[in-house]
Amino acid sequence: MTFFYRLWRGGQLSLRRQFLRHIISSLSLYALSCSSSGLVGGECAAGYTNCDGWCVDLSSEVDHCGACDSPCVGEQVCQSGACSDEMEGVQETPRRGGSGGQVETLPRGSGGSFEPVQEMPGSGGFLPVTGTGGVAGWGGALGGMGGQIGPGGSGGSLVCNSSPLVTECAGSCVDVSSDPLHCGFCGNYCPSGLCASVACLGATSGHMVAICDSLGNVGPSGRRLFSNSVFLSGENLVRILAYGEYSSPSVIDAARGALADGAILKGRAYALTESYDAAEVLDLQRQDYDAFVVYDQPLAPPGNLATLATNWSSTVEDFVEEGGVVVVTTGGGGQGEMQDLISGLNILSTSGTTDHTGQSYYLQSPGDALALGVFSPYLATETSCTFNTSDSPSGLNVFVTSDIHPNIAVGNPGAIHRIILP
């Protein structure tokens, strides 16, 4: 049936008419109660005529239309004993396609019937489902054919205006007040799967990291320690704001390389934005960035870093409490004031640093996320140091590396990881 319909749609109307003509002729002959000669007791039943030994209905037989041996020609059909180019009882019944599609016309036999067209939503319109075939009446015309699936309508522009909190995200209208994939704004995924009142429930912890290494000539373990810190953020795409106004080119290049290597090792992606204007850090927001990195600032003027800490402290605190990551590196060089920034941002209370170049770092907390892939011990390269601090390690204030083997003592930390609970 599908094959026949495709031919009919392609312009082969003659096949349709010939098919209908022979089916009607066959049904007419089948309706007779004839012997092998086509006669009943030597006579045809009422309404049928003996033509060459066969009982035929002269009103509809195309080879004997109106009289024996009087055939219709070409594509004509026999109706009421006369040849005709059209077939009575065949109606062209429109069926609705999708909005923007072409309307198809389908035949319906006089003895057949159609089931009601079912509808289901299409993109921009309604898409009719194929109807069931009609049942041919006894001696009547061929039953109706099933409806054809019409093309769906073309979609229009997406307009999301049912609520101020409903907006378009990735081609769909979403409610950012409750959608865990777009909580508060598009793309803000809630790891807990819960979003209410434009905020993730069960928010992730924030992290603050201080590393006593400028990264200028750091080895593989030091690079891994740094990249592990930045990728503490759970997002697949980590958005990083890095401040380097008073950094040296070698420090910046080393940090970029460590990030690139870390992304490959972790199978993650990142977007790095570097700022050289301290005022821009005041615009730091969790919805824009996942990590804030401060490169070592050996070229900072005296007293400048303590001022930055005072100006930034509130912004950084809010960022971390919302699940952000803050990483600060220092090699202990320059004016030796990076400790003022680290203390002022409340990462670690430190009075200064001690040079540790050429000596060994030991993992004090190998189970910490920063220690993944880091050797113990490993060599502290040029511009490496340890922090002088009175703080003690704890579950939320982790000494990741130090200058002494953990079986001997805690020692002074080379890297510290402070966890901020939500």
Structural domain boundaries in the chain: 2-84, 162-203, 206-420
From residue 137, alpha-carbon distances to 12, 93, 109 in Å are: 26, 19, 9
Measure the CA–CA gap between 413 and 397, rounded to whole angstroms: 11
The CATH number assigned to the domain with range 206-420 reads 3.40.50
Count CA within 13 A, CB hemisphere, residue 80: 6
Q: Taking a C-beta distance cutoff of 8 angstroms, is the pair 81, 58 a contact?
A: yes
Q: Is 171 left (phi over 0), alpha (psi -120 to 50) or beta?
A: left
For residue 237, what are its two tokens?
Answer: 């795409």
Cα-Cα-Cα-Cα dihedral of 323, 324, 330, 334, to 10°? -130
**Sheet of 237-243, strand order:** 269-275, 237-243, 291-294, 325-329, 206-211, 413-420, 397-402, 360-363, 378-379
Count CA within 13 A, CB hemisphere, residue 118: 7
Return all residues near 366 (Cβ < 8 A) that are at least 6 apart. 376
Measure the CA–CA gap between 76 and 60, rounded to whole angstroms: 11
Q: How far apart are the first and last CA of the chain?
A: 66
Q: Taking a C-beta distance cutoff of 8 angstroms, is the pair 322, 299 a contact?
A: no
Range 44-82 burial, b when 16+ CB lie within 10 A, else e:
beeebeebeebbbbbbbbbebbeeeebebeeebbbbeee
Q: Tell me, what DSSP letter sits at residue 213?
A: B
Residue with tokens 């992606």: 269
From residue 21, alpha-carbon distances to 67, 143, 411 in Å are: 18, 13, 102
Measure the CA–CA gap between 365 and 376, rounded to whole angstroms: 10
Q: Tell me, what DSSP letter sits at residue 281?
A: G
Q: Is 127 left (phi over 0), alpha (psi -120 to 50) or beta?
A: beta
Measure the CA–CA gap between 417 and 164, rounded to whole angstroms: 40
Measure the CA–CA gap between 210 and 399, rounded to whole angstroms: 10
How many CB atoms neighbour CB 376 within 10 A? 15
Would you state the pLDDT for residue 161? 74
Would you state the pLDDT for residue 419? 95
Q: Taking a C-beta distance cutoff of 8 angstroms, is the pair 215, 382 a contact?
A: no
Would you state the pLDDT for residue 86? 64
For residue 85, what are its two tokens?
Answer: 């180019």
Dmax (CA) for the chain in angstroms is: 129
Write out the E strands in 276-323: 291-294
Would you state the pLDDT for residue 382? 83
pLDDT one digit per residue (tens) for the chain, 422 residues: 433 333 333 344 344 444 444 444 444 444 443 443 345 456 788 888 888 888 889 998 888 999 999 999 888 889 898 998 865 544 444 434 444 444 344 444 444 444 444 444 434 433 343 444 444 334 333 444 444 544 444 445 567 876 778 888 988 899 988 998 998 888 887 777 888 888 777 667 899 999 999 887 778 999 999 999 999 988 889 999 999 999 999 999 999 999 999 999 999 999 999 999 999 999 999 999 999 999 999 999 999 999 999 999 999 999 999 999 999 999 887 777 899 999 999 999 999 999 999 999 999 999 999 999 999 999 998 889 999 999 999 999 999 999 999 999 999 999 999 999 88
Measure the CA–CA gap between 113 and 143, rounded to whole angstroms: 7
